[in-house]
Amino acid sequence: MNSRILLYDGTWEGMLCCIFDYFDYKLQVESITSNQDFANLSLFASPHQVTSDSEKANRVAKGLEAKVGKEGLTELWHVFLSELPHAPLLILKTAVYYLNQDKNSRLNYGHEDVLEVKQIVKSVSRERHRMKAFIRFQKLNNGIYFALVEPDFDVLPLIRKHFKDRYADQHWMIYDGKRKYGLSYDLESIQEFSFTEDVNISNKTIAIQWEEQEDLYSDLWKRYFNAVNIKERKNMKLHLQHVPRRYWKHLNEKELDK
């Protein structure tokens, strides 16, 4: 049987449908890629187009939950959000292993795919935790609190409930500058949004839209941070473990260390 490359729409639903087609067509899969990356196909593999179908996706999700519970399915979703190049194939291989085994196979750390899933989940979870701590909102002149982020992984879906619960009485927007989409909360519900391609979102463009007193608040925060910082006890090596430099450009208090 010739190896196949699965082409899908790049969504989680589409990923679950890849698993469905693997079993339905008894495919031998070499790799999985989104439709927009089809130009990189191997010359020695033939493509198989996967069509997203909510019914098929739900069947796969329920099958996985029956084998490894909601936690096992959630772990695979975390791997999907990592956006690693080999993540789709790893998800397929791990899902096939789960579905062909007895329950609790997700606890078999001796299986190399399961172990890699756990490692990726740990990295994605760490990034989710950091986003909860490092996001800094700036109040714009239209009353909306806006935050610009650039996480290593696509963690906005993992933090939406946290910020909805924490800032339930504020209209806020969190924009992922790397993936060009964001979350907007209007005091009732959260919606995804994106800007037109010619709009450049940066700390500089956000500052132009600040509310009049935002400069004062920002300066007060920097002064407070500097006042409580004990220079004699500063351990930069340990500090960088908790707050890597790649986050600094979106933390106004870190302007003191740049």
Phi, psi of 181 (to 5 degrees): -150, 165
Spatial separation of the C-alpha atoms in residues 192 and 62, rounded to whole Å: 26
b/e burial code for range 58-96 (CB count within 10 A of at least 16 → b): eebbebbeebbeeebbebbbbbbbbebeebbbbbbbbbe
DSSP helix/strand/coil, 110: coil
Q: Helices (H) and strands (E) in the chain — how many of each?
A: 8, 8
User: If you average pLDDT over residues 174-181, what whole number do you get?
Assistant: 93
Is residue 62's pLDDT more than 80?
yes
118-155 confidence digits (pLDDT tens): 999 999 999 999 999 889 888 888 888 999 999 999 99
- Cβ-based neighbours of 28, under 8 Å, separated by 6 or more: 1, 2, 3, 4
Task: Report H helices in 83-168.
Answer: 87-99, 112-134, 156-166
Share of the chain above pLDDT 70, in %: 72
pLDDT band of 250, cuts 50, 70, 90: low
DSSP-assigned letter for residue 52: P
pLDDT band of 43, cuts 50, 70, 90: low
Is residue 165's pLDDT more than 70?
yes
If we measure between CA atoms, which residue out of 190, 191, 156 comes closest to residue 148? 156
pTM > 0.85: yes or no: no
pLDDT band of 27, cuts 50, 70, 90: very high
DSSP helix/strand/coil, 70: helix
pLDDT, position 36:
74
CA angle (187 as vertex; 181, 188 as ends), nearest 5: 90
How many residues can be counted in the chain?
A: 258
- Cβ-based neighbours of 25, under 8 Å, separated by 6 or more: 48
If we measure between CA atoms, which residue out of 185, 182, 177 comes closest to residue 193? 182
Is residue 247's pLDDT more than 70?
no
If we measure between CA atoms, which residue out of 178, 137, 132, 184 comes closest to residue 154? 178
Is residue 170's pLDDT more than 60?
yes
For the record, the structure tokens of 254 come out as 């870190």
pLDDT, position 199:
61
User: If you average pLDDT over residues 15-37, what whole number do you get?
Assistant: 93
pLDDT band of 239, cuts 50, 70, 90: very low
Q: Which of 78-82, 131-135, 142-146, 249-253 has the lowest mean pLDDT?
A: 249-253
Q: Which of 79-93, 133-147, 204-218, 244-258 has the lowest mean pLDDT?
A: 204-218
